[in-house]
Chains A and B, each alone.
Chain A
Amino acid sequence: MNDKRFLHLSTLYLEGAINDYDLDLLNRELADSPERVRQFNDLRLLTGLINEHGYAVEPDAPANLAANGLLNKSCPDFSVAGDLKANAGARFTSRRPIAIALGLLATAASLLLVLNWHYTNSQRDENVTGIATLAYTSQSSWEGRAPVLGEALSSGRLHLEVGLARLDFLNGATITLQGPAEFEILSKNKTILRSGILTASIPESAIGFEVVTPAMDVVDLGTAFGVSVGADGETDVCVFEGKVEVSLSDSVDTPRLVREGNAVRSRPKDATISSVDYSVERYEDAWPVTSGVLQATGLMKFVSPGPEFVPGRYEDSDHILIFPERSRVLLESELEVDVTDPGQYIRVGRRGRHSVAAGQVIRSYLLQLNPIGAFPRGETGGARVIGQLTFDRPILGLIGGTFHLTSTDEPLGHPLGDYGDTRRGIEPTRPNDLPDSGRDNVTLSRDRRTLSLDLSASSAVDQIRVVVSE
């Protein structure tokens, strides 16, 4: 259970609106975690404070100053109680005459001093450390102290002047900032984007992750999305996958649900959130980093995020397209692949039997060169494209043969992808071909993170599926 869910259940409990199932969850959460007990009591103390001192929310309410005057002199600690009691008297049916209470309170002054004895060691919140890690930067420059790569970040502000910076949260959320951006980590589940661009990928473990902006609160419901905040606070939210809830800042209205392929916009103080065209250009630099591709050079092109940019729906004859397909897939059985070891390959689809062991959590990408238009079988002259890309995690295997590609479309392919029935894969070499013959050529680096491709597509669609450790 993440923090937001826990807070929601605690709030429902205090409101008497929790159901039996959630009550059971809350019981178990509190039983298992001293931290949750502390958080639960943080909330109770806040409600106690509001009860005692929240009369400020009603500044025009008449206070019974006459009743409080005496108390304020003799017992400052009870002035608030008197205030509340006076206010309450007009609205609530108190069982006990005020006079009796006042008498008791006056007598109570000395005893209350006893009640207000010394306390246990302070448990006041300290800054939580290690909420996120600075996982990657590119051409980055920071205002103030620059965090170093791998540094554990606690709550606090970050001002990225230029470049990209990826933050990996301990709960699994991944955020990439694109400078100039002013960003603040409040907790492991809550952040503020005051200006700039971010893209986010939120796994199930971090559902409820919140990005607060000057105009809107964005709450993730298990998804990937981009947020852009202009200098004037105008905020755009674009949902790449899944769905998010958006609400105007400080609104008590029911949050609005935004599904994948949709975008909304609002400005500070606006009374509404408007739908706008789904446009992802501004996120195209940050999104690949969030998706695990740190660098793509040459004629590699990471596809735009969104339901239209999936295999079978999008073609580009000038680039090797990189489609992120699935993430956080647990291999329940051994996965057959064509390549597992570093090296240079010109017959990816015809390697011996290799496999990725069961029990690993992986993600998959499809790399594709698919020239627009059809070439007769055997005709040369199709596009030749060279490029290189680097992943944030080691590559566990490559799948380049039609059979293995087809058999892994269902478990590893994009849910919205249309993989068709054309010949696919890395073309096999012909007799007497040499490594530099211009045939499809794939190189996996020694550290297993960088893949170099030299592809020539003609009648077949060149595809290779990359299996990366999560």
Chain B
Amino acid sequence: MTTAAAVRTAATREAYGPTLVKLADAGVDLVALDADLAASTGGDKLGRAHPDRWYTVGAAEANMIGMAAGLAAAGKVVYAASFAVFLPGHCFDQIRVSIAQPKLNVKLIASHGGVSVGEDGASAQAVEDLALMTSLANMRVVVPADVVETELALTAAAYSDGPIYIRMGRPKIPVIHDERHEFRIGKAHLARPGDDVTVVACGLLVGAAIEAADALAAEGVSVRVLNMSTIKPLDEAALAAAAAETGAIVTAEEHSVIGGLGGAVARWLALNAPVPMEQVGVQDRFGESGAWTQLLERHGLTARGVGDAVRRVLARKA
């Protein structure tokens, strides 16, 4: 399922342009907007294939969101893309009032999520976007684990009416899925079976969690890995089963420990199935410049960081 394909690497954002072109070729009545970052999001590929379906609005994210809302209200399937620091960071109120509240059919595509942006530093590293977006009623939030899942998520969004936020990343990371992978909005994917503890991960931490699970297996620890690529709505059935069957949870994400996947899982567990839980994430701090791999190390967003959290939670497990 995963090891054979793991030699290939790709950035999740690489899925964006080609998927838009496929959707437009397939007859989806879509319009995509960029805000002067098309070279990084890849949205301009749609513009070359279907010039009347892609527009860059300049470095003006607030206006892009409003335009997206207007297009959606006229029946278009709309994709609006930028960096995760700007979308939602530059235009949260526009998303709130113009898209989420009226529940318009806009797909918010945020590239360059998390600290793995690297050298651009703190201002460019979104570690709060999931907190902002999960806080909005009517908004769904997805963080795909690799390029394969990103294409599936972008495609599923086209055929699922309503607002959705999909976060992509900058660096090339291992491709952990092949063409048999199935993705459904709101459905967790069992990346590794296991009985002693469950790691609930999203984004590039899914690959790290799988690596950790493999390492811990050698120590006799059976780690379940759930790819919770949809953070909202959470797959509550998968969480309930994980809590009941493994009795300990670790969340892992490239985001602040406040308000993202860990926050959502902690809330659900506290209300429904309290079991020991640990978090792998950014510890309420800003990022900084550095190579993306160095930054992942610094924040513990690695297989080793996941393994450490697993040991901590197992020590608390009754």
Q: Do A and B come from one complex?
A: no
Interface residues, chain A, with chain B CB atoms under 8 Å away: none
Interface residues, chain B, with chain A CB atoms under 8 Å away: none
